Structure 1
Amino acid sequence: MTTTGLDYDPYEHARRLGIHVVYRQLRTGNGLWVPEIRTIFLQTRMRLIHERSVLAHELGHALMGHRDSTPRQEIQADRWAARHLINPDELRSAAAASPDPGVWCHELNVSADILERYLRDDRRIA
C-alpha cells in the first residue's frame, strides 16, 4: 500500500490485513492493539478526525510487531501513523492557505498529535 495523506484509508488497510476493528468503551486510552486476536479496539464516539488518527496509530503498533506499549513504541506508532496520514504536498498546500495548524489538521483530516509528530520529524515543512 503506497497511498498517503487523504488517500490513505486506515479502515481499508486494517481490512486488507485481516485486522478486526471493534468499537467499545475503553477505560484508558482511545485505542488498543491486541495481537493475540488480531484486533484493534477503538473508543466509542470519537470524532472522525481523531478516530482515523487513532486507528492509524494502532495499525502502526500492529505492523511494527509491538506487543506492549512503551513510551518508545508510542512514538514509533505515532511516527508510522503520521507518515501514512500526511502527504507532504497536501501539508504544503494547507500551510500555504493558512498559517493556523488547527486548519491544517482539519484540511489533512488528522489529529493535532499526529500533525505535531510529523512536524517534529520533518522540519522541511515548518
Structure 2
Amino acid sequence: MRTTTDLVLHAEDMGATVHWALDLPERGRYYPGVDVIVIRHGMTERRTVSTLAHELAHLHYGDPLCTPAVNRRAWRWAARLLIPSDEYARAEQHHNTVGGMADHLGVTAEVIRGYQATLGA
C-alpha cells in the first residue's frame, strides 16, 4: 500500500513539489506550468493518498483544465498507481461494495470506481 510519503517522493521524481494548505476548498489542486500540487491538510491517510495520486495524474497528463472527463481519467490513473491487481481481486472476494473494497485497500471510493473503469476499458 502506498503512503503519503511514497507519493510525495514520486511527485518529486516527476519534477513537482507538494504543499499543504489548511484553507484549500477542495481536497487537492494541481497548478500546471509550475508543477505544484497543493493538498488540504488534515485529511485521513487514505483520503490524502487518493487525492495526491489523483493530482499526480493531472501532473502526468499536464492537465490545464479540470473537466469531468479529465477527472475520470485522473481517477483511473490514480487507481493504476495505487491498486495492484492481486490486491483488488482479494478485496473483491471479501467485499461486495465499493465502500468495503475502499476500506480494505486504504483508498477512497473514487479510486475503486476508477479501477473498475479500467476493467471495462
Q: TM-score, normalised by structure 2?
A: 0.85
Aligned equivalent of 2:93: 96
- Partner of 1:42, secondary structure, is strand
Mapped partners of 2:9, 2:103: distance in 1: 21
Taking the TM superposition and a 5 Å limit, the aligned residue runs for 1:107-126 are 107-122=104-119
Paired AA for residue 85 in structure 2: P
Contiguous gaps of at least 5 residues in structure 2: none
- Number of residue-to-residue matches in the alignment: 117
1:65-116: CA deviation from partner (whole Å, max 9, x where unpaired): 1111112111111111011111110011122233343332122121011101
Mapped partners of 2:10, 2:66: distance in 1: 22
8 Å CA contact 2:58, 2:74 repeated in 1: yes
1:27-47: CA deviation from partner (whole Å, max 9, x where unpaired): 2x2111012221100111111
1:48 to 34, 45, 49: 45
- Partner of 1:45, secondary structure, is coil
Runs of 4+, deviation exceeding 6 Å:
none
Contiguous gaps of at least 5 residues in structure 1: 1-5
Mapped partners of 2:66, 2:79: distance in 1: 18
Taking the TM superposition and a 5 Å limit, the aligned residue runs for 1:1-126 are 6-7=1-2, 9-24=6-21, 25-27=23-25, 29-122=26-119
- Partner of 2:33, secondary structure, is helix
Q: TM-score, normalised by structure 1?
A: 0.82
